[in-house]
Amino acid sequence: MVPLSLKRNVSYMLLGNLIYALSQWGIIMVLAKLGSPKMVGGFTLGLAITAPIILIFDLQLRSVLATDTKEEFSFRSYLTLKGINSLLAILVLGIVIILGGYQGQAAVVIFLVGITKLIESVIELHYGLFQKQERMDMIAKSLIIRGCTSVFIVAVLITFTHSLLVAVAGFSLSWLGLLIILEIPKVKKLDAFHASSVNVQAVKKLFLTSFPLGLVMMMMSLYGNIPRYVIEHAAGTEAVGYFSALFYIVTAGNLVINAIGQTISPRLANYFNNEEYTPFSRLLTKFICFGFIYGLFGILAALLIGKQVLSIFYTHDYAQYNKVFVLLMVAGTLLYSGSFVGIALTAMRKFSIQPLLSIIWVLSTIVLSVLLIPRYGLTGAAVVTIMTAAIQLLTLAVTVLWYLSKAKKHHNLTTTYTSN
């Protein structure tokens, strides 16, 4: 398979992720306009509860596969580990729902949201294979189809049934169908299943390699969702709905950032692996600056037309929280740049340090959330998001610079020794 140019890959991923982001945002808009803030809160609370579980068992295998330039593991090994972890995730999800005291429709909605995200994680693993081949066009087309299908199904089911449970069930089934119909045949065409049997030792080694990333993703999910847990405890599900709807605009923007990051990560991995540190630094710096500029446009838009945007996309009730919206866009600016730095750290395959960083982020989020949210409500939650995003960006930047400096010194010493 012939790789596409970096420019074409970025273009495809921008288009695919933009449409996908709009469609996922569209689900929130459908729930807000045709449902209620409580319905938005129920759906996003389901995402908040299930995300840490799904992510720790996901092990960020897509990124590990995409940056596996030395072909250390076969795709069958990745898929086997994904299957085992998915079963474990379902078991843990059931236990969490029971221990959390969730019952009736709320429990079923949370469980179905978790199943949907598990299906997505399997689809994402397939994306990692296409990403490794630098064929982002295949991913983009899939994202567009999946995004449009999901928002259409949710809109139709909410309109005719007015049931969040039915809508989430249809959402989940549609993604399962797309996995079977679209993604699996693509992988078969790439002959990714060439390994005749499962290598248990390879699967074990892959687990040990990727587990730090799974822990990191779980901790990052907790760090992003802790404010929602505190908001629910302090103000109820409806308040979670308002905050989540506002923050989802930032999240939608970050999907575009991730699209670019996923496109450049194989290039960054190759640069670092080949000891081409100057091109590595230039490419990373370029996109960090892009993240800041991208975020600044978001802040400006929130200041000028924030109320109108919230009224149009949601309802007039959401417009009263425009100040919170502006603060969240400030946090978004820091998150966008931090995303590129985090992607660079993964491209460098520096996995073991990442759990330590994520622990710092989670602990700071817990402390700040407990101190500010009960007293200042949604405004306090937005301030917490700004402060934790700044901490994340700073710690990631320091870590990448340290590893880069260490690699350069080792390269210079090796070059000097060889020349002598």
Element spanning 149, H or E: helix 136-161
DSSP 197: S
**Inter-residue contact 64 to 210 (CB < 8 Å):** yes
Distance separating alpha carbons of residues 329 and 348, to the nearest angstrom: 29
Separation CA 156–CA 181 (nearest Å):
22
The 10s digit of each residue's pLDDT in 19-44 is 888 888 889 889 988 888 888 888 98
Distances (CA, A) of 305 to 147, 316, 322: 26, 13, 9
Helix, strand or coil for residue 420? coil
Q: How confident is the model at residue 248 (pLDDT cuts 50, 70, 90)?
A: confident
What residue has token string 């870590």?
399
Alpha carbon dihedral 387, 344, 287, 127, in 10-degree steps, equals -110
In this predicted model, what pLDDT tens digit does every residue of 153-185 receive, in sequence order? 999 999 999 999 999 999 999 999 999 998 888
- Which pLDDT value is given to residue 415? 62
Q: For residue 347, name the pLDDT band (cuts at 50, 70, 90).
A: confident
8 Å CB contact between 313 and 279: no
Q: In angstroms, rounded to a whole number, what is the distance separating the alpha carbons of residues 360 and 394? A: 12
- Pairwise CA distance, residues 332 & 148, whole Å: 25
Q: What pLDDT band is residue 186 in, cutting at 50, 70 and 90?
A: confident
| Cα 300 from Cα 326, distance rounded (Å) | 9
CA distance 189 to 371: 54
Give residue-wise pLDDT tens across range 279-319. Answer: 999 999 999 999 999 999 999 999 999 999 899 888 888 99
Which tokens go with 281?
């630094």
pLDDT of residue 329: 96
Angle, alpha carbons 232-234-239 (nearest 5°): 50
- For residues 234-255, average pLDDT: 85
Cβ–Cβ under 8 Å, residues 37 and 161 = no
Residue with tokens 């299908």: 149
Q: Phi/psi of residue 351, each to 5°?
A: -90, -35
Residue of 11, 21, 27 whose CA lies nearest to 245:
27
State the Cα angle at 91 between 89 and 97, rounded to 5°. 100
Q: Which two tokens stand for residue 5?
A: 């140019």
- 69 and 197 Cβ atoms separated by less than 8 Å: no
